[in-house]
Amino acid sequence: MKNIAVIGAGTMGNGIAHTFAQNGFKVSLIDISEEALKTGIETISKNLDRQVTKEILTDAQKNETLLNIKPVTDLKEGVSEADLVVEAASENLNIKLDIFKKLDEFCKPATILATNTSSISITQIAAVTKRADQVIGMHFMNPVPVMKLVEIISGYSTSKTTLNHITKLAEQLGKNPVPVNDYPGFVANRILMPMLNEAIETLYNGVAGVKEIDTVMKLGMAHPMGPLQLADFIGLDVCHAILEVMYEGFKNPKYAPCPLLVNMVRAGKLGIKTGEGFYDYSESRKAEKVSDQFS
């Protein structure tokens, strides 16, 4: 595999594109929004600058990485020569199903189709294609260039050949691929999201304040970031969407989003991305300070 297409220039998409490009792959970064593509490339450039400052990369490697990325607004053009497509669009089932129907039509017969979904069924996504054996989950962690874990999720029809290809590819990226089965939330979010939701319930019930809850988990459980701050970093809308998928998938009330989380999402208080969540990020330097912990 040499040619990679990444769909979505947001936080996960630009991080995935960055990682592939840094490891010598040619990457088409695809988004319908030119503004999103511009922002995505700027984010990659800034993150590369941090790596140069920390002497992880040289200036020459930074420039080579950027040259490996081609921004594209047309889906068909962007995926036509891809050996692998990694979809990193919104965590919305209907959007993903529509994308995969088009990918099945636009891509070469041998192209493997991967999704970065953190909770949605790989089997359900694969079912809208005529190549279910070549559809797989690659759940990268945020920030992608830094975090080593990649959950590799096989759907019901995913072939062992596809699994082996993607496992080896993840290793080429310097990641630690971990195979998991196709159930809502997989492993990472099945464990993480109920914890974050319980932290929000604890706040909702008035047991303690935001900083107090986060301090207990950081000092008492050795977490690098408190659960409420982490929820802000992930995006409260993303947390809400994942919990909804798990609640729908298991029909178990323990996965139901806390009413406080529901109301915050309705109010547009989504965390760092909107400048306000459980913490106030209205000053850009505050948001940068949080993000820098993961750089």
Q: What torsion, rounded to 10 degrees, do the Cα atoms 77, 78, 79, 84 define? A: 160
Q: Is 223 a catalytic residue?
A: no
Does the annotation flag 273 for ligand binding? yes
- Could you say which of 3, 116, 154, 189 is catalytic? 189
Task: Give residues with Cβ within 8 angstroms of 159, minimum separation 6.
Answer: 133, 134
Does the annotation flag 91 for ligand binding? yes
Does the annotation flag 78 for ligand binding? no
Task: Give residues with Cβ within 8 angstroms of 73, minimum separation 6.
Answer: 30, 31, 32, 33, 34, 37
Does the annotation flag 12 for ligand binding? yes
- Could you say which of 18, 119, 139, 197 is catalytic? 139
Residues in the chain: 295
Does the annotation flag 53 for ligand binding? no
Which residues partner with 154 through β-bridges? 136, 181
Q: Is 151 a catalytic residue?
A: yes
Q: Is 240 a catalytic residue?
A: no
Does the annotation flag 185 for ligand binding? no
Does the annotation flag 275 for ligand binding? no
Does the annotation flag 10 for ligand binding? yes
Q: Is 139 a catalytic residue?
A: yes
- Could you say which of 68, 116, 151, 240 is catalytic? 151
Task: Give residues with Cβ within 8 angstroms of 195, minimum separation 6.
Answer: 227
Does the annotation flag 15 for ligand binding? no
Question: CA-CA distance, 236 to 278, in Å (whole number)?
Answer: 9
Does the annotation flag 11 for ligand binding? yes
Does the annotation flag 249 for ligand binding? no
Q: What share of the chain is helix, strand, coil (3-state, %, to 5)?
A: 55, 15, 35
Number of Cβ within a 10 Å radius of residue 49: 14
- Could you say which of 14, 68, 118, 121 is catalytic? 118
Name the token pair of 236.
């409260």
Number of Cβ within a 10 Å radius of residue 160: 9
Dmax over Cα atoms in the chain, in whole Å?
56
Q: Which residues are annotated as a binding site for NAD(+)?
A: 8-13, 31, 91, 96, 118, 142, 273
Catalogue the active-site residues: 118, 139, 151, 189
Q: Binding site residues, as ranges?
A: 8-13, 31, 91, 96, 118, 142, 273
